[in-house]
Chain A
Amino acid sequence: MATALVAFFLFLVWSVSVRQALLYLIGIGMGVTLTSARFGFTTGWRQLAEQKDPRGAIGQITLLLIATSISIPLLSTFPELTAALGPPSFSLIIGAFIFGMSMQIADGCGSGTLYKAGSGTPLNLAILPLFALGSFLGSAQLNDWLSFGQMKPVSLVNILGSWETIVITWALLLSLGFILWIWTGKSKPLFEKRWIYGGIVLALLASLNLLVAGQPWGVVYGFGLWAAKVAVSTGWFDPAANPFWGQSGNLDILGQSVFLDVTSITNIGILAGAQLVGLRSNTEHQSLNLQQWVIGLLAGFVMGYSSRLAFGCNIGGMLSGISTGSLHGWIWMPMAFLGTLIGIRLRKRYAF
């Protein structure tokens, strides 16, 4: 396995670009960290809501605190880097809510589905192609959803300034941590080594991604691209006639190899890194009945579709949005958490 990973790295250096090879390595680091720390956004939120266990949420707050502290100064120093600025919109509100709900049923968000598929979890392996299909259809219909109402993307950095945005982001995140500490009863442990280690390493890798790629870490664009390529090649989808895929940037990316796409290459790295760790573990997975399989796969499709409406999953929407000063990340988080509360009930209803 290690030989295959090295061979692919050398192929990228030789035939694609050094930048894409570096991003592939960053992706492997992400996959190894997500899998070895079992850093699941879905699980963290479920443990918080069901058991009043704040450890996963505190790990995610740590990730956001560090990523913000590095990303915003990077964006200020290097004007060629771009933030993840999604527009506050009806599409974002409904998309984040449905994403939060479906990720609980599918037992994995964007990054969670990737690392669980990479490490061989059967449901997530089967979900991935449907996630890609949903992501493609969501992007193809995004303009229709935006017509229900949207604002221009709001950059807190542009409005308030870099340091002010960092201070406000820290204040909001620390307040959230304090509220969790009070709500969970103070006696429960706030920290667990794996969550904190995962949060710190992922924040460093997300910042490296920004430095190398010039844009924040994302997951779902790459999947939508893969499905779009298949749809175009079969002839039933004309990208030039579509408001999203007809944009010159997206049309160019459609014509290029996926190895040139930033999001695709980190996704491939995450799958490979997760496989590397997964091969060394003998985790037993819950066996599912036919109804659970059907519902799980449907949830995976809905998750892909809604992630495009929400301008990203937990990574592209929440982590990258908040850590680069976009207001849409702060709308994404509570809406997805509300959806999660419904998703947990549905998950129980179908005995996952």
Chain B
Amino acid sequence: MKNKSILSTIFWISLLIFFTWDWGQSKPINLLNELPALAAGSGQKAVGGHCSNVGKE
């Protein structure tokens, strides 16, 4: 139980460090370009990455 707790703590701290590092080194978010809350009905095609994405053919 103790090992589980230690491993879980290491996991969450590592994740937190990664997100903080990523936030610092990524392009700042331009809130003026924010996408509509719902994609459906927005008229803008989804641009996110997905597992079914294929590389260049």
Contacts and interface: CB of A to CB of B under 8 A. Distances in A.
28 contacts: A17-B31, A17-B37, A19-B38, A78-B39, A78-B40, A80-B42, A81-B39, A84-B51, A121-B4, A122-B3, A146-B57, A153-B54, A212-B37, A212-B38, A214-B46, A216-B50, A244-B55, A250-B49, A259-B23, A261-B48, A262-B46, A263-B51, A308-B51, A311-B54, A312-B52, A316-B52, A317-B52, A326-B52
B9 to A, nearest CB: 10
A258 B22 contact: yes
* Chain A: interface size category: 35 or more
B50 A78 contact: no
Nearest to B43: A80
A122 to B, nearest CB: 5
A312 B51 CA distance: 5
A87 B52 CA distance: 8
A346 B27 CA distance: 45
B49 A225 contact: yes
Contact of A18 (B22, B37, B47, B53): B37
Contacts of B15: 271
Interface in A81-129: 81-82, 84-87, 117, 120-122, 125-126, 128-129
A122 B48 contact: no
A182 interface: no
Given A82-B45, A214-B40, A87 B50 contact: no
Nearest to A316: B51
Interface of B: 1, 3-5, 7-8, 11-12, 14-15, 18-19, 22-23, 25-27, 29, 31, 34-57
Contacts of B48: 213-215, 253, 261-263
Contact of A81 (B12, B37, B40): B40
A22 B52 contact: no
Nearest to A233: B25
The dominant DSSP class at the A interface is helix
A17 B35 contact: yes
A311 B55 contact: no
A330 interface: no
B contacts with A: majority SS: loop
A19 B19 contact: no
Contact of B11 (A84, A128, A212): A128
B45 A87 contact: no
A292 to B, nearest CB: 15
Contacts of B51: 84, 86, 218-221, 263, 307-308, 311-313, 315-317, 320
Contacts of A220: 51
B45 A211 contact: no
A6 interface: no
A221 B36 contact: no
A233 B53 CA distance: 23
A320 B48 CA distance: 15
A347 interface: no
Given A122-B7, A249-B49, A86 B54 contact: yes
Contacts of B41: 78, 80
A17 to B, nearest CB: 5
B52 A257 contact: no
Nearest to B56: A243
A125 B13 CA distance: 12
Contact of B52 (A81, A125, A226, A321): A321
